[in-house]
Structures are given as structure tokens and as C-alpha cells.
Chains A and B, each alone.
Chain A
Amino acid sequence: MSIRFIRFISSRWTRLVLVASVLMGFQTTLLNDMRPFGVMAQVMVLFAACAGVIYGAEIGVVAGLIIGLMYDCVLTTPLGLASLVLGATGFIAGAFPYFVRESSWWNKAIAVAVASAVGEILFPVAQALVGLGGWVQWRIFVVAAVVALINMVLAPLLLPIVRWTLKETLIG
């Protein structure tokens, strides 16, 4: 029983939930107040993209779906929408290891920026698909560009955190 509990506690998915809760705290406070060019930085999208870039598509999708579901609980869009969008973002970012064999920090940052931009565009598109129209405007490209730029700058800081969070096990 205790071994099971220790395994559960040391599992990457438990760590993911805890780390994502802290990041979401920053998302709803600090990043909500600081809006360069009127656009909010999206650290949850950044996390999903980093997970995909480091650990590939499968881990990226699962991480994106889980943190997306948590993010959905503080958003006003239908529950589950951000989950699918962040899952897709993790999947897109997960394509990066297939194309680049020996990656450096800067091309990972670029991959994170591209995946973040696509993920940010997917948000209004997904909203339109479930009938919440009106958000598919030219502005989404500006938003995507700013989010990509911010995430490219933040990626070198978050990549080690994501690597530690999603490490297979911390014991044994």
C-alpha cells in the first residue's frame, strides 16, 4: 500500500498537476495583469508546447489534455475546450523531435514559439466550432504573434522545469 502511494506521489502526472497548479496561479494573477500590447502571455500553452518539444507527441498530448482540463476550470469557455486545444498544442510541438535529431536550446525555443502560435489560433477556432462565434478575427494573428514571441523568450526558463516535472520517476 505504502509503495503504491509512494509510486503515485512520485509519478510524473502527480508532479504535473502540482506544478501546473502553481503555474496557473501565476497565469491568473501576474500574467493576467501584465499584458504587453494588450495580449496576455499564455504560460499553460507554453507548458504544453515544452512538454511536446522535450518528450514527444504522446507525452505532449497527455500533458496538454491534463493541464488543459485544469485550465478549463478557471476559464469561462465550455469545460473541455482548452483541454483539447492544449492537447493539440502538445501534439504539434511533439513533432519537433522527429525533425531535429540534435536540438539546441534556441531551436527548441523556436519550436515552442511556433507550437504556441498555432495553439493560440486554435482557441478561437475551437470556440467557433462549438458555436461561440465572433472571435475568429484578424486580431487572432496579432495575439498569436505576441504569444509566440513571449513564449520564445520564456521557453529557456520553462524547459528545465518541464523536463524535471515530466521525468519518468524520481525514485529508484
Chain B
Amino acid sequence: MSRLANPNRFQKLSRRVLPWAAGLAGLCLLAGLGLGLFFSPGDYQQGESVRIMYVHVPAAWMALGVYTLIALASGLFLVWKYPLADIVARAAAPLGAGFTLLTLVTGSLWGKPTWGTWWVWDARLTSVLILFFLYLGYIALQNAFDDGARGAKSAAVLALIGFVNVPIIKWSVEWWHTLHQPASVIRLDGPSIHVSMLAPLLLMAAGFAAFFTALLLIRVRSALLARKIRALRLVQAAADPHIRGR
């Protein structure tokens, strides 16, 4: 862990991983789209609207996974003060917010034809909406302070507090009567999805995960460059007699 926390080593590794992640994302998303839209059957109950699942479920998994990553990185940052942990969490947040928004919108588009409503305030839907606001709050808090270190610290605390919401989302459908159905893929007695639908779902999920990985590497690289630029500007300003003289 501490080996990876070194920005230079991270950059070296990231440069090697990025093309693979990007390639895998493209391949899986294309294959998943092909299977999901053309070569998979409709559902015996939902008909063709089952295809919305192939974007909704991977987006929901990513929304939860990315938040978990942010909480983990925030914990590392608070305890061990790895600057890279803060940079990773900060770079992941807008991606997670995007996935959560996607989950909400595609879920709504599936709910209308299946349930007969765009939205209900049941425990699952409400807790996912809270997740979206947690992402927004986290991003806002990161940028709310002039003192970057204070912003990073308070945002990390918020990320950790908000983590209680993640198990609530996951198990809301089992703890309470909700309109949303329980889990189909990750369950003790094996998936309750026919293999012809499970294949495109898993391909899309792999595609989403690889896409996130590639984008995260790009964004971390970008943040490390920004840090370097800030440092260089400070050095230049200190060396510049016009500025120093003021």
C-alpha cells in the first residue's frame, strides 16, 4: 500500500495499466451492447424493457463501489496522511456521482413500464437518492475551503460518515418491504437471472468497471500534474523580483 502511495511509482504503474483498462472498457462495452440489445431475449414478464437492466445494474454497482473506494481512501488519508489517497478520492467522486445519477434516471425509465410509476419513496430508491446527495456534498466540501488541507480533511470525514448508507442501500430490499425487488445476481443460492441475460449484464459491468479504472487513472494523473504546476508557479513567483518586491 505504501509503495503505491508514492506518486511517481503510481504514475509509472498507471501508464502501463491505462491502455489495458481503456481497451478492456471498449471491448466489454461493445460486446455487452451487442449482446444486450441484439442477442438477448426479452423477459417473460418485463418484455423488452428488461434491456434497461444492462445499464442500470452496472451503474448501481459502480455507484456503490466507487463510494466504498472513496470511503476507504478517505480512511487511509485521515489515518496515514497519504496525499495520494486524497487525490484518488477526489478524482473518483465526480465519476461516482455520474454513475449514481445514471442509476436513478435509468431506474426511473424502467420503473414506469414495469411498476407503473417513475418514482416512489421506498427505502431503496430513497437511500440511493441520499447517496447522490452525499457525492454532491463531498465534492462541494472538497472545494468549500480556501485552505485545501482543511477541505480535504472535512470531506474525508463526510465520506466516512456517509459510508453507513452503503450497507443500507445494499440490504434495504431485504430489511424492509420495498417496491424494489431484492438482489438477483449476488445472492446466496446463486443468480436468479437466466444465463442469456446474465452474460450481457456481466459484460456491461466489466465494461463499466474498466471504464471507471481508465478514467480514474487519467484524472489522478491530471491532479498530480495540477499539483506540480502549483508548486512550479510558487517557485517562479518566489524567484520573480517583481512579485517578490510587492
- Whether chain B is bound by chain A comes out as no
